[in-house]
Structure 1
């Protein structure tokens, strides 16, 4: 009896919160992603008392030759400052198989950026994303990153049922 109650309680807790997509936008890249190219998104927060999860979304194809990706992501924090993160995500297995949801020859990745964050004010925010990829023994970085088709950003409102 107690086992059943415990299992029911765990199930209710797991399904008590859900995410509602609040903002979801993609920018297509022209053949490759140049190291100086910054992808920007603007979104409006109308209720700063809520909590949100944010994601970087990448669509890649077989021309992407790396096992990981380094991204520099800046989220403006207020009118005169920004939160800047340098992030690394695994994009392929050790065997070289791309990780993510596959659609024929395109692989889509939803990469966690910020979890359960709250924004300071109800206003428009800007996110900027650029890659920071380097090849071995080449500190100047990869000039143009091939295989990245689209860069996206999504903001999901965490709602209690």
Structure 2
């Protein structure tokens, strides 16, 4: 009986270690408030230039988040200094107001697609920046203190082989 348990445990451990996860990093926001001037920075290096990867932005929010969507501005800088800037919109809640994402209690985590099948052609350090671009309807100026976003993360995974 103990031998079977050990074998099952070993199989689970081996399967868990074959994850495609290459990089995962989070930045916590001070008291769940993301100020407009806070640009979150992530860096990663030592990626081979042949493997395709998927990039995700992970967002943790609590019930004090007032919106059903989230606008972000991202900038990804290659080791050669080339910068790609994107403005993104993600749904955070259903039309009935219930949160999307996983988690129990007041914190929900969303794994949001940023880019898929990306190849990093250059060796060296890649820098990634994220800032929010939220505005109230009809307002030109952005929201200075966005409440309810507790953490932002960057996750890079190798793509599944066909």
Q: What is the TM-score of this pair, normalised by structure 2?
A: 0.84
In 2, Cα distance between equivalents of 1:120 and 1:19: 23
Aligned to 2:121: 120
Contact 1:92 1:99 in 2 (8 A): yes
Alignment match, 1:22: 22
Residues 19 and 159, structure 1, Cα contact 8 Å, conserved in 2: no
Q: Following superposition of structure 1 onto structure 2, how do residues 11-160 of structure 1 map, counting pairs within 5 Å? A: 20-31=20-31, 32-160=33-161
Distance across 2 between alignment mates of 1:130 and 1:19: 29
The structural deviation recorded for 1:45 is 3.4
Aligned residue-pair number: 144
**What's the offset of the Cα at 1:159?**
4.3
Measure the CA separation in 2 of the matches of 1:46 and 1:109.
25
The Cα shift of 1:89 comes to 0.3
1:44 positional shift:
1.0
Q: Distance in 1 between matches of 2:145 and 2:101?
A: 22
Aligned to 1:10: none
Could you list the runs of 4 or more consecutive aligned residues of structure 1 that deviate by over 6 angstroms after TM superposition?
none
Contact 2:44 2:126 in 1 (8 A): yes
C-alpha distance in structure 2 between counterparts of 1:151 and 1:69, whole Å: 12
Residues 72 and 85 of structure 1 are in contact (CA less than 8 Å); yes or no, is this contact kept in structure 2?
yes
Q: Is 2:80–2:122's contact at 8 Å kept on the other side of the alignment? A: no
Distance 2:71 2:34 in 1: 13
Q: Give me the CA root mean square deviation.
A: 1.5
Given that 2:77 and 2:83 are in contact with CA atoms closer than 8 Å, whether structure 1 keeps it comes out as yes
TM-aligned CA deviation for residue 137 of structure 1:
1.7
Per the TM alignment, residue 121 of structure 1 is displaced from its structure 2 partner at its CA by 1.1
**Which residue of structure 2 lines up, in the alignment, with residue 5 of structure 1?**
none
Contact 2:78 2:122 in 1 (8 A): no
